[in-house]
Amino acid sequence: MKSPAEWLPPHLRTQLSNYGRLMRIDKPIGYWLLLWPTLWALWLAGDGHPDQGLFVVFVIGVFVMRSAGCVMNDYADRKIDPYVERTRDRPIASGAVAPLEALTLFAALGLIAIGLAAMLNRPAQILAAIGAGLTIVYPFIKRFVSVPQFILGAAFGMAVPMAYAAQLGEVPVIGWLVFAAALIWAVIYDTFYAMVDREDDQKIGVKSTAILFGDMDLFVIGGLQALMLATLVFIGLRTDMGFWYYLSVALSACLMARHLWLARARQPSACFQAFLENHRIGLVVFIGIVLHYSFNP
């Protein structure tokens, strides 16, 4: 029996595949990196019992917004990607998807995001608008500022205060602490990512924290890791977390040490591996939160 996709004309199947690659469906790491802090916030804001409807909206929202961000990023980089070894085969850079098609796809994803935001309360909608603005601005900002990773971190982390606002009607101090942890984490893993393309970025004039930190990159990353761990511990103290949560923080510290070890020689492949493995930190922390509420209802 044919699958639904096999009933489509070959050229349409090919183009749908190109759209999927443009949204990075074949590379789910970005979804995980965006999803885990969102789930931290949903569980913490809901005292271990997040609203079921909000859970569905936010999980779908993670998929939609990450996809939209990738489309806009590739559109913004359409004249740069052909000159970077790792990105020259991306759909727009290779000519498989036209720039106008990419903008149309972005608009379609944006409409879905607006529909999801309409299901939330007003405070969450305001934060959603800010997050959408950051998503659009980020791909262009890296041409002008040396710390675009902080903009990416704010965009990725905006789901955290949104989750608090959606469940509580406001964002308490603890919500902004979780946002801070998510932002710091994004700077860490995206600096590893930027280290992969550092030489190409320097040639074409794209800015990044990897270039800004220079030979101090691993030292600064280590400092950011320590700051993130301290923030996670402070979050635990403010929310009366127990053994399972602090065990997850300790395990996260071990994972962070491994990532520094992987990148010690600054080989692009090793730095990329450190980036890919970062999502395990988010998973481990989420498991710690879930286990805490499971055994301390």
pLDDT tens profile 9-19: 777 788 888 89
Give the rounded percent of residues in the chain with a pLDDT score beyond 90: 72
How far is Cα 87 from Cα 223, in angstroms, rounded to an integer?
Answer: 30
User: What is the CATH number that goes with domain 15-295?
Assistant: 1.10.357.140
Q: What is the pLDDT of residue 6?
A: 63
pLDDT of res. 143? 77
Over its C-alpha atoms, the chain yields an Rg (Å, rounded) of: 19
Long-range CB contacts (< 8 A, 24+ apart) of 88-96? Answer: 90/21, 90/22, 91/18, 91/19, 91/21, 91/22, 92/22, 96/18, 96/21
Q: pLDDT at position 1, please?
A: 52
Backbone angles phi, psi at 208, to 5 degrees: -165, 165
Q: What is the pTM of this model?
A: 0.92
Question: pLDDT below 70 — which residues of the chain?
Answer: 1-8
pLDDT of residue 88: 83
Q: How many residues does the chain have?
A: 297
In contact, 187 and 151? CB cutoff 8 Å: no
- pLDDT tens-place string over residues 188-215: 999 999 999 888 778 777 888 889 999 9
Q: What pLDDT does 54 receive?
A: 97
Tracing tokens 């949903």 back to the chain, one arrives at 42
Task: Write down the pLDDT at residue 3.
Answer: 57
Query: How far is residue 8's CA from residue 30's CA, in Å, rounded to a whole number?
Result: 29
Residue ranges per structural domain of the chain: 15-295
Q: 């704010």: which residue's tokens?
A: 154
Q: What is the pLDDT of residue 84?
A: 77
